[in-house]
Amino acid sequence: MPYVNIRVAGALNKEQKARICRGVTDVIAEVANKPKDSILIFIDELPHENIAKGGELLQKPADKK
């Protein structure tokens, strides 16, 4: 049973999550030849301040200068 964990900075709306899940499921099913109903996807939405890049904490897009 394939399982995928997707982590994003900030929040996604329900439609964005649905589209991501459909697309990822389609690719895994096609490439790995796995049945779609066996593919589990977990989406973790993380606050920007819990992620760092280059040693600096991320800022929310609206907060960038």
Residue 38: other Cβ atoms inside 10 A: 13
Range of the domain at 42: 3-63
CB 51 within 8 A of CB 61: no
Indicate the pLDDT class of residue 60, thresholds 50, 70 and 90: confident
* Percent of the chain at pLDDT exceeding 70: 95
Sign of the Cα pseudo-torsion (55, 56, 61, 64, in order): negative
Active-site residue 2, yes or no?
yes
Q: What is the pLDDT of residue 62?
A: 74
Q: What is the pLDDT of residue 64?
A: 52
Give the CATH number for residue 20.
Answer: 3.30.429.10
Question: pLDDT for 33-59, tens place per residue?
Answer: 999 999 999 999 999 999 999 999 998
Number of domains in the chain: 1
Asked whether the whole model's pTM tops 0.85, one would answer: no
Burial string for 39-61 (b: 16+ CB within 10 Å, else e) reads: bebeeeeeeeeeeeeeeeebeee
